[in-house]
Amino acid sequence: MSKNVSRTFSAVSLGAASLLVASTASAFDFKVNETDVDVYGYAKLDVIYDVDANLNNAIIRSNIKMDGEPGVDGHTTLSANQSRLGITTTTMVGGHTLKTNIEGDFYGGGGFTGGGGEFRLRHAYGVWNGILAGQTWSNFGNVLSWFPTVDFNGPLATGGGRQAQIRYTTGNFSFSLEDPEVGGSAISEGTNQYRIPDLTARYQAAAGPVNFAIAGLARFLEYDAEGSSVSNPNWSDDSATGWGVTLEANTKLTDAITVRGSLTHGDGIGGYLYLTPASQTGYVDNQGNLETIEATGGGVSLSVAAGPGSFNLGYGVVVTDLDDAFAEGAVQGSADERYSSTFVNYIWSPYDQITYGLEAGHHVAKQVNGEDGDAVRLQAMVMFGF
């Protein structure tokens, strides 16, 4: 695989102080006083054909039709919203390297659902002397098990998203305080309180050819009964503790073959489980108690270098336990509780600045009431890096 592809589609450890971003080769770099500046980005066109329901610009699995559900099949979408622009800086400050990164794409303004085109902030952070502050990937996220997809949303169960945080890294350990609201609301409707940041801890290391990590999450969830649309006069405020743990690893079996795997489980984990069917962390039962929702996800993938690129095969699944919430009337029977996806693609780069990709994906959704459905997406991309 070329340098451009490996930089664009490789995930890097966010537990290290020398945090990098996945990007194409920079358009140019220059120096301002004592600061080195690097500008990078790409223009990307996605050509998408949904054999079944329209899954939009990036795969939205809640759009999958259940078996027997009426609807139009066959949708073509062309989108350039993933196109990206970023800047990094490096400066020596007090004997330590200060690195900053600001990056955005054009998925703002409803870009996942077919509109958009507005510039959207992805990353905005700095790293100095082991301290990271700003917005970037969650410290809980499992970057080692990520595998390349042409689709923007990508594989299931690959950890939390980007959110504001402050993180400290020392050796193989990293600890963070993160925005509690981004990780998912305490209930699907009503009043929520976010008084305490979420806490994460991560250990990442290598044992021979195997890179591995374990991360933990703790959160304090609160329900405010006053003025809530889901409360009654006899209910009072309630709180609960949420937690999560993730394990991940990757290794090279040969110079050409890489395998990866991950497993995440939690109670009240919410959006820290990537692309979960139910992003809310809990629900209020009929007695006014805040009950947390368990969720589990995992995946495996295989990449094989071939010619100017690589073949990638991956499977992921996420499951939320909504049975009790359904019994309490907190969710409807049509609520999604399980997603699974299989991707197969070939991504290659004949030149450092040009990348192509072809992909087929099969995606399945299952509801609390036992109904299920599936969808097939065919996708191609052309990406020009600068």
Q: Where along the chain do its domains lie?
A: 3-385
Q: What predicted TM-score, i.e. pTM, was given to this entire model?
A: 0.88
Name, in order, each residue with C-beta under 8 angstroms of 370's C-beta and a sequence gap of 6 or more.
Answer: none
pLDDT of 156 above 80:
yes
Cα-based distances in Å from 68 to 189, 214, 230:
30, 42, 33
Q: Is the pLDDT of residue 53 over 50?
A: yes
27 pLDDT band, cuts 50/70/90, is: low
Give mean pLDDT, residues 266-294: 88
CATH 2.40.160.10 for the 3-385 domain, yes or no = yes
List of residues 6+ apart from 49 with CB closer than 8 A: 74, 75, 76, 77, 377, 378, 379
What percent helix, strand, coil does the chain show, rounded to 5? 5, 55, 40
At residue 141 the predicted structure's pLDDT band, cuts being 50, 70 and 90, is confident
CA 28 – CA 33 distance, rounded (Å):
17
What is the token pair recorded at 78? Answer: 């062309």
Give me the residue label for tokens 């939009």. Answer: 56
pLDDT band at 282 (very low <50, low <70, confident <90, very high): confident
Q: Which residues pair with 276 in a beta bridge?
A: none
Q: Give per-residue pLDDT as tens, 222-276.
A: 888 776 666 677 778 888 999 999 999 999 999 999 999 999 999 999 889 888 8
The model's pLDDT over 97-111, given as tens digits with 9 standing for 90+, comes to: 999 999 999 999 877
What does the DSSP assignment read for 44-91? EEEEEEESSS--TTTT-GGGPPPTT------EEEEE-TT-EEEEEEEE
Q: What is the pLDDT of residue 14?
A: 32
pLDDT tens sequence across 334-354: 999 999 999 999 999 999 999
Mean pLDDT calculated for residue range 51-79: 94
Residue type, 152: F
